[in-house]
Structure 1
Amino acid sequence: MTAVQKYTLPARLLHWLVALGIIAAFALALSFDDMPLSPGKLKLINYHKWIGITVLGLAALRLLWRLGHRPPALPAHMAAWEKLAAHAGHALLYLLMFGVPLGGWLYSSAKGYPVVWLGLVPLPNLMDKNEALAGTLKTLHMLGGWSVIALAVLHAAAALKHHFIDRDDVLRRMV
């Protein structure tokens, strides 16, 4: 029996930290979406922003790490379409890991709301206040959030399929 060819420890840690951050940010967004404006809602929105900026930073670290460290090869038994789907899914996940937080930051800037990471580090506005564009940015941010969750569910389902049906090492490489 051969040993599992795993992702590096930093790659695995960044993967799971980003995943937890995305889930937490999404859950927070769902929790405050229908709340009336209140100090409690503003606190949850700030937590959402903090997590989003953290995910953005972790995604940047993850991409930098990935550029210098090749991931384990996909199993030889995978069909060409499965390999293509895996690569396309990963590319789209990376795009969303950057696009969704940046979209939220752009939305905050367009609304004129500051982003202050962890309540300590004020981040620059990415654009001038623009109420006309803010609604579109909010919609894009929300669609991106739902998209990253949907894609993450497919990603997890594929990993579980590999583990329980194909009985290969795809899932074990990341745990």
Structure 2
Amino acid sequence: MRYEPASVYNAPARLFHWLTALLLLLQYVLAWTMPDVHRDTKPIGLIAWHLGVGMVIILLVLVRLLWRSAHAAPPEPATLPPALRALARYTHGLLYVLLIAIPLMGWANASSRGWPVTLFGFIPMPPLSPAGSSVGHALGDWHRNVAWVLIALAGVHIAGALFHQFVLRDGTLDRMLPAHRKQAASKQ
């Protein structure tokens, strides 16, 4: 299927999308492999990496939202039913909310433990909750539980992309793939 340039996501939008997906995958690998966090746990090793990647995710999503506010998404296929259009809009919106809320909860939890939080490992970030805060500790539990919601929602997002690709065959997935893939597909 050949697309007009206006119907394909631009290179920065594709980069933000795939970089977010890659960082999210890395974050879950870190979360599953890092040691359990207890009262006397220190923020070293995989825990420090988990905190750092979380900060990068917040920054990336905020930059992505700024970019998106100045660059509209390409139009959806005209054949997309209104119910699927609404589902896609709600799913994307909730993904953005969770991609910011979950790291913020983790940051507040780290602050309540008295852990330093940095961006890129050297830019100190202010605490989001005071050391010993019961709210900050509770947000740590929410952080873990809501992360499962994000996994499920990412699964819905992936399933939707595959549904578009293999059932509807409307080329929606191709709009987010690198340009050379779309060009190769259009020559077939």
Q: Distance in 2 between matches of 1:62 and 1:83?
A: 21
What 5-or-longer segments of structure 1 have no aligned partner?
none
CA displacement at 1:2 relative to structure 2: 3.7
Aligned residues: 174
CA displacement at 1:7 relative to structure 2: 0.6
CA displacement at 1:77 relative to structure 2: 1.8
Q: Distance in 1 between matches of 2:72 and 2:49?
A: 34
CA RMSD of aligned residues (A): 1.9
**Structure 2 residue matching 1:127: 3-state secondary structure:** coil
Q: Distance in 2 between matches of 1:117 and 1:67?
A: 24
- What's 1:157 paired with? 159
Q: Distance in 2 between matches of 1:130 and 1:35?
A: 15
**Structure 1 residue matching 2:160: 3-state secondary structure:** helix
How high is the TM-score relative to the length of structure 1? 0.91
Alignment of 1:1-175 (within 5 A): 2-3=2-3, 5-34=7-36, 42-175=44-177
Deviations 1:59-115 (A, max 9, x none): 011000111111111222222111110000000001011111111111111111111
Q: Give the AA of the match of 2:110.
A: S
Moved more, 128-137 or 53-62: 128-137
**Structure 2 residue matching 1:172: 3-state secondary structure:** helix
**Structure 2 residue matching 1:130: 3-state secondary structure:** coil
Q: Distance in 2 between matches of 1:120 and 1:129?
A: 21
After TM superposition, the runs of 4+ consecutive aligned structure 1 residues lying more than 6 A away are 35-39
Q: Distance in 2 between matches of 1:7 and 1:93?
A: 18
Deviations 1:4-34 (A, max 9, x none): 5211110100111111111111111011254
**Structure 1 residue matching 2:175: 3-state secondary structure:** coil
Q: Would you say the 8 A contact 2:105–2:139 is kept in 1?
A: yes
Moved more, 132-141 or 26-35: 26-35
Q: Distance in 2 between matches of 1:47 and 1:79?
A: 42
CA displacement at 1:168 relative to structure 2: 0.9
Q: Distance in 2 between matches of 1:54 and 1:120?
A: 12
Query: Is the alpha carbon distance of 1:130 and 1:101 closer, same or farther for their aligned partners in structure 2, counting shifts above 3 Å?
Result: same
